[in-house]
Amino acid sequence: MKKTLIALFGLAAATTVFGAWTVEPYTGNYCTHKISDGNWEIGVYKYSDDKWSLGRPVGHNGSSYIAGSGVLDLRSVAADCGVVLKVSNNGALESISGLTEVYLPDSLESTTGNTFHNCVNLTKAILGSGMKKLGERAFYRCSSLSEVYLPEGLEEIQALAFDGLSKLVLTPEDFPSTLTTIGNCAFRNCSSITGDLVLPNFTNPNGGYQFEGTGLTSLTVPALENVAEGILFNAKNLKTFTCSPNVTNIGYRAFQNTPIVTFNPGEMRKLKTIGQEAFRGCTSLTTSFDLSKSQLETVPTYAFVDLQKVKSIKFPKTLKHLGSECLGYNKTSRDVWFMGPPPTVDNSALKSNGGSWLLIAGCEFADQWEESENVIPLEEGDAAKALKLAAELGVTGVKPMGKWTYQAGGYTHWVMEELPKATLISIY
């Protein structure tokens, strides 16, 4: 779509829809002038000859002066009457029910909040080539918007800019590579945004839920070192996600309820925190989950709950704590590797839904395991059971040593609750 639009802009750039723009003094609504083209009248504010504001001056509250309907084309304003629009104020063009299409000039560098908020019949919006920052709630509640042009060079899209616009169609080629910052819920529930999106310069550490509920099949953000909370929550088509190996945090609900298939954090040596419910309900995830090289200290509540197809998870030596139900509801056999001494374990951390566990600890910490209150003696025949379960899981190098825990009589100190009889703790 982007290439087609560029070609069309080249043909139409010299004209406006209704005629040449004129400018005259106007002192209402905190403005200094108004511009008109025979259909539209808009209040503007003059800072200097080469800098005008669309609407009242930035920082002033109240309603901007705006009258007209249909298509608003501002691309020739500077050429027609010398008004060089560089900024737009909060709510400069909001709640105009008659606005159907808008074309912004190349001179406009930024918008503040609510620029087109609640323009319910707006279907098309073309941002000029000079746009660097699109303000918060820019197109919020523009429920008919289906087409938007985001120019290369655009660096920031602020919170709620396109929130909830289910008719908005964007493909990966429509996103500028220059985007570094996308605010909270900027594209939340824009279900018609699809495809494999690559944002090479996306780095902002703040915000969250940017692509919640979208139709993206993959997201690649190679420079991102902080995965925001809910960034892809409920993205129903998501299959893969790729970020920087230097990532330090994966936020709350980051991938909850997505059908993500592959995600390998094996080289994330700086990863320190994972939020609650980060991978909850990712029932299609099939890869082994290798966190052994990370700096993770705790696995919070529900972080890896209901991962039905993940058969192996590895934790680093730094791990100290497993939160409630953090690994719960497995329906199949699964091996969990601890590279260090046993962590503290909250109630139901390893709650099962018919599956079984093979828990494997690093052998250099054998003395610490044996002294822990969380271990009970290995009963006769249990070593053979441990090896058999390991073989079924494809785990090699398992060697039961001395006193290790096996579920007996329906109870174990390890998880402080009942587990299936096949549950074993062994030593590697």
Per-residue pLDDT tens over the stretch 294-307: 999 999 999 999 88
Query: Is position 208 within any domain?
Result: no
Q: How far apart are CA 155 and CA 177, in angstroms?
A: 9
Structure tokens at 266: 């094996």
Nearest-5° angle of CA 239, CA 243, CA 245?
Answer: 130
Domain count across the chain: 1
Query: Is position 371 within any domain?
Result: yes
pLDDT value at position 351? 75
Query: Is position 275 within any domain?
Result: yes
Query: What are the b/e assignments for 137-171, b being 16+ CB within 10 Å?
Result: bbbbbbbebbbbbbbebbebbbbbbbbbbeebebe
Q: Are 248 and 272 in contact (CB under 8 A)?
A: yes
pLDDT value at position 424? 41
The residue range of the domain holding 282 is: 267-428
Strands 41-48 and 33-36 come out as antiparallel
Q: Write out the chain's pLDDT in tens, 428 residues.
A: 554 454 444 434 333 345 799 999 999 889 999 999 999 999 999 999 999 999 988 778 777 899 999 999 999 999 999 999 999 988 999 999 999 999 999 999 999 889 999 999 999 999 999 999 999 999 999 999 999 999 999 999 999 999 999 999 999 999 999 999 999 999 999 999 999 999 999 998 778 999 999 999 999 999 999 999 999 999 999 999 999 999 999 999 999 999 998 887 878 999 999 999 999 999 898 867 889 889 999 999 999 998 888 888 888 889 988 888 898 887 777 778 777 766 777 777 877 777 766 676 653 444 444 444 444 344 445 556 656 666 666 665 555 443 334 333 333 333 223 333 334 444 33
pLDDT value at position 59? 79
Query: Is position 326 within any domain?
Result: yes
Query: Is position 26 within any domain?
Result: no
Q: What is the pTM of this model?
A: 0.84
Q: How far apart are CA 179 and CA 185, in angstroms?
A: 15
Nearest-5° angle of CA 291, CA 232, CA 280?
Answer: 55
Query: Is position 316 within any domain?
Result: yes
pLDDT value at position 396? 59
Query: Is position 382 within any domain?
Result: yes
Q: Are 291 and 267 in contact (CB under 8 A)?
A: no
Q: Provide φ and ψ at 388, rounded to 5°.
A: -65, -45
Q: Are 341 and 368 in contact (CB under 8 A)?
A: yes
pLDDT value at position 262? 83
211-264 tens-digit pLDDT: 999 999 999 999 999 999 999 999 999 999 999 999 999 999 999 999 998 887
Query: Is position 167 within any domain?
Result: no
Query: What are the b/e assignments for 34-63, b being 16+ CB within 10 Å?
Result: bbbbebbebbbbbeeeeebbbbbeeeeeee
pLDDT value at position 363? 39
pLDDT value at position 362? 52
